[in-house]
């Protein structure tokens, strides 16, 4: 995977169209399929004008329903496309991945949010109320073109949610099922960069320096997450998103402090690294201070979740919780966590609950298999 930036090492602000065209030549592409939603059309237009495009596909739907993916796949085959150019956020990149999964076409990703999907080999598809995810090298974009200018018009609320979604990648990577010391180092640096970049972007949404700092953090977050694997946070959010069609980034932003409060006390080494990255006494205090500064979302009820859905969600989440999660997970404490996230209760109230009798002993090694000691 190539990451394209300019000769100064910056994120090629304003250069995306020319850079995408040059990258297509590198890959020998002559028939590009552009994937960009109608909302992203204005950002995609300059790129579409200079590439050998045979198809412009605009049907992009959150959580990538299988029927939407199938229509995009058929359109790609019918057009004879030999490369995919995705311009957009996680849903757009996700659709490009769905096409690449079955066609093998290379993806050239141009992100317009901080989702990070462009830097992972993880795909996701939703059928009915069930969101399934998997890992495949075919869906990892062959090249990423970062252009800070493309994020200058990102609405403030989405900037916050998208950036905290990236932060969730860092936090989940700290105790993911395949975590190793390098993953933790990348995730810690991602936390530091996001904690510095997001307030800058919130204060000046069009400021290039803040956007580039946040993009840097989002990229590190995605790489760490892809290597460490999906932890309990992402298992929760994928179930909620698929089952109740909740907005992806906002769901992650809302659930994150509850998972951090739940796990951090039983993962002291990871907690210490996160606290240092936040420059805070504890990781939880650092995250909460950042969330207060950003006026982050606090309650899933604001996005359509109701108390009646929690039981079904718990039943779907429990079987897929990674076995190395620092805090033992039961129906009772998972229900309490989801209810707190539903109403916007203080996440610390869940962390304060004692471990249930008969719960599994926490895996304090976090499932790490390594030839080097954890830092």
Please state, in angstroms and rounded to a whole number, the distance separating the CA atoms of residues 145 and 118: 10
CB 207 within 8 A of CB 301: no
Question: Class of the 156-351 domain?
Answer: mainly alpha
Residue 128 region, left (φ>0) first, then alpha (ψ -120 to 50), else beta? left
Question: How many percent of the chain have pLDDT more than 90?
Answer: 85
Please state, in angstroms and rounded to a whole number, the distance separating the CA atoms of residues 145 and 349: 42
For β-strands 32-35 and 53-57, DSSP reports them as parallel
14: helix, coil or strand?
A: coil
The tokens for 109 are 């990703």
Query: Domain 2-151, what fold?
Result: Rossmann fold (3.40.50)
- Residue 164 β-bridge partners: none
**What integer is the mean pLDDT of 335-349?**
94
What does the DSSP 8-state code read for residue 38? G
Amino acid 353: pLDDT: 57
Residue linked to tokens 């610390």: 348
pTM attached to this predicted model: 0.88
Please state, in angstroms and rounded to a whole number, the distance separating the CA atoms of residues 309 and 301: 11
Please state, in angstroms and rounded to a whole number, the distance separating the CA atoms of residues 26 and 5: 15
CB 286 within 8 A of CB 298: no
pLDDT exceeds cutoff 80 at 360: no
Amino acid 369: pLDDT: 28
Q: pLDDT tens, 67-101?
A: 999 999 999 999 999 999 999 999 999 999 999 99
Let me know how long the chain is.
Answer: 375
Dihedral pair phi/psi, residue 158, rounded to 5°:
-75, -35
CB 122 within 8 A of CB 185: no
Q: pLDDT tens, 93-117?
A: 999 999 999 999 999 999 999 999 9
pLDDT exceeds cutoff 60 at 287: yes
pLDDT-derived band of residue 1, with 50, 70 and 90 as boundaries?
Answer: low
> Looking at the chain, which residues constitute the CATH 1.20.1090.10 domain(s)?
156-351
A 10 A CB-CB count for 206 gives 13
In which order are the strands placed within the sheet that holds 53-57? Answer: 2-4, 143-145, 107-111, 83-88, 32-35, 53-57
pLDDT exceeds cutoff 60 at 130: yes
A 10 A CB-CB count for 348 gives 14
Residue 31's Cα: distance from chain center in Å? Answer: 29
> Looking at the chain, which residues constitute the CATH 3.40.50.1970 domain(s)?
2-151
């Amino acid at each position: 995977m190539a990451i394209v930036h300019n000769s100064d090492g910056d994120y090629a602000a304003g250069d995306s169209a020319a850079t995408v065209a040059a990258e297509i030549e590198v890959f020998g592409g002559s028939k590009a399929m552009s994937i960009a939603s109608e909302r992203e059309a204005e950002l995609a237009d300059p790129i579409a004008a200079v590439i050998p495009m045979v198809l412009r596909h605009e049907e992009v739907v959150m959580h990538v329903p299988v029927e939407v993916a199938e229509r995009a796949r058929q359109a790609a085959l019918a057009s004879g496309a030999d490369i995919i150019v995705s311009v957009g956020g996680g849903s757009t990149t996700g659709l490009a991945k769905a096409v690449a999964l079955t066609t093998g076409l290379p993806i050239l990703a141009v992100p317009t949010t901080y989702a990070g999907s462009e830097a992972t080999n993880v795909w996701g598809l939703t059928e009915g109320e069930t969101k399934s995810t998997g890992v495949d090298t075919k869906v990892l974009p062959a090249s990423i073109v970062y252009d800070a200018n493309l994020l200058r018009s990102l609405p403030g609320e989405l900037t916050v949610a998208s950036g905290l979604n990236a932060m969730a990648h860092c936090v989940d990577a700290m105790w993911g099922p395949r975590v190793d010391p390098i993953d933790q180092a990348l995730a810690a640096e991602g936390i530091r960069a996001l904690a510095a970049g997001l307030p800058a972007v919130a204060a000046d949404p069009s400021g290039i320096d803040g956007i580039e700092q946040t993009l840097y953090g989002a990229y590190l977050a995605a790489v760490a997450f892809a290597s460490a694997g999906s932890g309990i946070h992402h298992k929760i959010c994928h179930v909620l998103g698929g089952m109740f069609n909740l907005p992806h980034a906002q769901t992650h932003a809302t659930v994150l402090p509850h998972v951090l409060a739940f796990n951090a006390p039983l993962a002291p080494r990871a907690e210490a690294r996160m606290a240092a990255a936040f420059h805070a006494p504890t990781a939880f205090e650092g995250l909460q201070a950042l969330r207060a500064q950003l006026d982050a979302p606090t309650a899933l009820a604001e996005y359509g979740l109701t108390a009646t859905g929690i039981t079904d969600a718990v039943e779907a989440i429990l079987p897929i919780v990674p076995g190395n999660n620092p805090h033992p997970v039961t129906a009772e404490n998972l229900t309490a966590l989801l209810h707190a996230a539903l109403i916007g209760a203080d996440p610390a109230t869940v962390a304060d609950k004692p471990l249930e009798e008969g719960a599994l002993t926490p895996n304090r090694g976090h499932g790490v298999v390594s030839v080097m000691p954890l830092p």
